[in-house]
Chain A
């Protein structure tokens, strides 16, 4: 087990390095710099600015000094756009927001998705089953940038129950709609995965044995069937996590929640290299860490897996 974790870590670190190199190269090959605007700066001023931010150095030097700063001091450098703030400040402001509604979304998607999937599988071919399958297909197809405005239309403009945007320190009224918008399609996927794996497990011999022993159905499902049936869900959590981080861009824009997604898009349009790099790296590291955790958890739970 320990060797497995070490081996996985040995893959994770080069992955992060590759991510740094890719985004750095992309950024470096971009035409136009952060200081190009409609009114061109005098060349001396430009040269001074570039010297200040180290942009006059050769490419490999910029890259090495950047990576060095990140690794040794956790320093992503200054933001070019928000001159009074560093990238760390931007991330420190946006990330807790994203993390809050991201975690709630993951929680909601898991709980609702698994319950729906189990219920549909236990009552296969019933009205409930068809309803669940119908809902999940619909929820998978409806993009969140269509769903979110519809939620705003219904809950804010028609019913007036929830505020249409903002964050306000994460009060629950402000969190509800972002969480619904972000979690629904993953909830649907989890429900589908749970349903089909649950059906498979319910048809296996050990479940028949448990039933033959006279155990109540409830106990059979909770104690015997649920754990093996959840393994595919576990392995889906990695991609779901990536999708949620991506989806947070839309949620941030529509609900003006001020998470990192909003900063990412703004910086991308403003060529604020440092912020983009910082966020891309953060997201990459998160993704890799999460995938690592899921894999370790999987290896720990599933006795069949060889590592």
Chain B
């Protein structure tokens, strides 16, 4: 009897088979995400908004703090949006170029949202992972603290802080940083509780890895999926939060501006027929939020598929 000799062709096939790589969780998630049309559209819009915020200023014909005195008192009909005058989005009530201001407002609003999300990712994840991993009394105290902080009406405290310590972007960031991580801490803790009983954590403990290293190397990477989802959904919340503060006149101060501040100015001019002052900032505000909503939902479906 003669065994079938493995010929060259077969070997090659086997070799190719071996080269088919196992799909990681992330590759799966990416595939799911790209199949989701709404999420993909959201991502594209988001990229366009980022480009607009970063480089939109390059084609602005006016500085954002340049007051066009020739339009004073006449901006209801001479300050209308037009390509010829170079005021693509018209001018605001003070005769400043609304295009340049919208670019800057978008930039600030995105910045606020992203800073809030980053604080949540760093502080919230570490806090929650530590509480969940250590457990026992430490967990109890840490999570009770979060409960206590959550039931404080933060908007009121933040308004107080802005009134007392002066209005600045830094103060706004501090205020946003103070609240944004609370939800994330809870989510991270809940997830950590399920992770910490897995075999790989047990193995790490058995081989004498230090608790801090276990949290950073073994627990946190496994939280990343859910953390990214909630961070994405947190960004629009923070943008709305900032717009609220700006509406009260406590947020970003002139000559800087944010979409919230621009919309607030726009609503005050609504009865004068200069609707574009509201419309352009509102448009960018809404599409930014929608884009984040859709991307966030898409990421959730992709990374956390148990729901559907």
Could you tell me which A residues sit within 8 Å of B by CB distance?
11-12, 14-15, 18-19, 22-23, 26-27, 29-31, 137-138, 140-143, 145-146, 149-150, 153, 157, 196, 242, 245-246, 249-250, 253, 264-265, 268-269, 271, 276, 279-280, 283-284, 287-288, 291
A246 near B163: Cβ-Cβ < 8 Å: no
| Min distance, Cβ B267 to any Cβ of chain A, angstroms | 4
Given contacts A23-B157, A143-B247, A284-B151, contact A271 B293 (CB under 8 A): no
- Pairwise interchain contact A15-B151, C-beta atoms closer than 8 A: yes
Q: Is the CB of B153 within 8 A of A141?
A: no
Q: Least Cβ distance of A199 to chain B in Å?
A: 9
A residues within 8 A CB of B271? 153, 157
| Interfacial residues of chain B within 120-176, with CB under 8 A of chain A in the complex | 144, 147-148, 151-153, 155-157, 159-161, 163-164
Contact yes or no, A11 B144, CB < 8 A: yes
Residues of A within 8 A of B278 (CB): 146
Which of B160, B236, B247, B268 contacts A141 (CB under 8 A)?
Answer: B236
- Contact flags B241-254 to A (C-beta < 8 A → 1, else 0): 00110011000000
B153:A283 contact, CB within 8 angstroms: yes
Q: List 13 A-B contacts (CB under 8 A).
A: A11-B148, A19-B152, A26-B157, A30-B163, A140-B293, A141-B286, A141-B290, A146-B263, A150-B270, A246-B153, A280-B157, A284-B151, A284-B152
User: Is there contact, CB below 8 Å, between A280 and B163?
Assistant: no
Q: Which residues of chain B have C-beta atoms less than 8 A from A29's C-beta?
A: 164
Q: Does A246 contact B155, Cβ atoms closer than 8 Å? A: yes
Cα of A27 to Cα of B236 in the assembled complex, Å: 31
The answer to whether B267 and A146 have CB atoms under 8 Å apart is yes
- Is B177's CB within 8 Å of the partner chain A? no
Known contacts A11-B144, A15-B148; A145 and B247 CB within 8 A of each other: yes
DSSP class of B's interface residues: helix, strand, loop or mixed? helix
Q: How many angstroms between the C-alpha atoms of A268 and B160 in the bound complex?
A: 6
Q: Which residues of A contact B159 (CB under 8 A)?
A: 264-265, 268
| A249 cross-chain contacts in B, Cβ below 8 A | 155, 248
A250 to B250, CA, bound (A): 13
For the complex, give the distance between the alpha carbons of A10 and B293 in Å: 38
A-B interface contact total, Cβ < 8 Å: 101
Chain B proximity of A232: nearest CB distance (Å):
13
Q: Which residues of B lie under 8 Å from residue A143 when comparing CB positions?
A: 240, 243-244, 247, 260, 263, 285
Question: Shortest beta-carbon distance, A175 to chain B, in Å?
Answer: 21
CA distance A175 to B290 in the complex (A): 30
A279 neighbours in B (Cβ, 8 Å):
156
Distance to closest chain A CB from B160 (angstroms):
5
| A contact residues around B290 at 8 Å (CB) | 137, 141
Give the residue name and chain of the B residue nearest to A200 (CB).
B307
Q: Which residues in chain B, 232-291, are within 8 Å of chain A measured between CB atoms?
A: 236, 240, 243-244, 247-248, 260, 263-264, 267-268, 270-271, 278, 282, 285-286, 289-290
Nearest B-chain residue to A12, judged by Cβ: B151
Closest 10 pairs (CB-CB, A-B): A141-B289, A149-B267, A30-B164, A246-B155, A145-B247, A283-B153, A268-B163, A15-B148, A288-B151, A280-B156
Residues of A within 8 A of B264 (CB): 145
The prevalent SS among residues of A at the interface is helix
User: How far, in whole Å, are A281 and B148 apart by their CA atoms in the complex?
Assistant: 14
Residue of A nearest to B183 (CB): A239
**Closest chain B residue to A289, Cβ basis:** B151
- Inside 8 A of B285's CB, which chain A residues have their CB? 141, 143
User: Are B156 and A18 touching (Cβ within 8 A)?
Assistant: no
A29 to B164, CA, bound (A): 8
Of the residues B144, B267, B289, contact of A145 by C-beta under 8 Å: B267
Given contacts A137-B290, A141-B289, A153-B271, contact A11 B147 (CB under 8 A): yes
Of chain A, the residue at the smallest CB distance from B247 is: A145
Nearest CB in chain A to that of B145: its residue: A18
Residues of A within 8 A of B307 (CB): 196
In the bound complex, how far is the Cα of B285 from the Cα of A138, in angstroms? Answer: 12
Contact string against A for B residues 57-75, beta-carbon threshold 8 Å, 1 for contact and 0 otherwise: 0000000000000000000
**Distance in Å from the Cβ of B273 to the closest Cβ of chain A?**
11
A26 touches B161 (CB 8 A): yes
With both beta carbons as reference points, the residue of chain A lying nearest to B288 in the complex is identified as A141
User: Cβ of A280 and Cβ of B267 under 8 Å apart?
Assistant: no
Shortest Cβ gap from A110 to chain B (Å): 21
Q: Quick one: closest B residue to A270, CB to CB?
A: B163
Measured in the bound complex, the distance between the Cα atoms of B244 and A253 in whole Å is 12
Docked-complex contact A287 and B153, CB < 8 angstroms: yes
Kindly provide the distance from the CB of B250 to the nearest chain A CB, expressed in whole angstroms. Answer: 9
In this complex, the member of B147, B159, B263, B268 whose beta carbon has the largest number of chain A beta carbons within 10 angstroms is: B159
Which residues of A are found within 8 Å of B267, using beta-carbon distances? 145-146, 149-150
Distance in angstroms from B157 CB to nearest chain A CB is 7
Given the known interface contacts A27-B164, A29-B164, A153-B270, the answer about A142 and B155 at a Cβ–Cβ threshold of 8 Å is: no
Measured in the bound complex, the distance between the Cα atoms of B279 and A150 in whole Å is: 12
Contact pick for B244, options A145, A269, A288, CB 8 Å: A145
Select one of A14, A31, A137, A280 contacting B160, CB under 8 A. Answer: A280
A3 to B282 Cα, complex, angstroms: 50
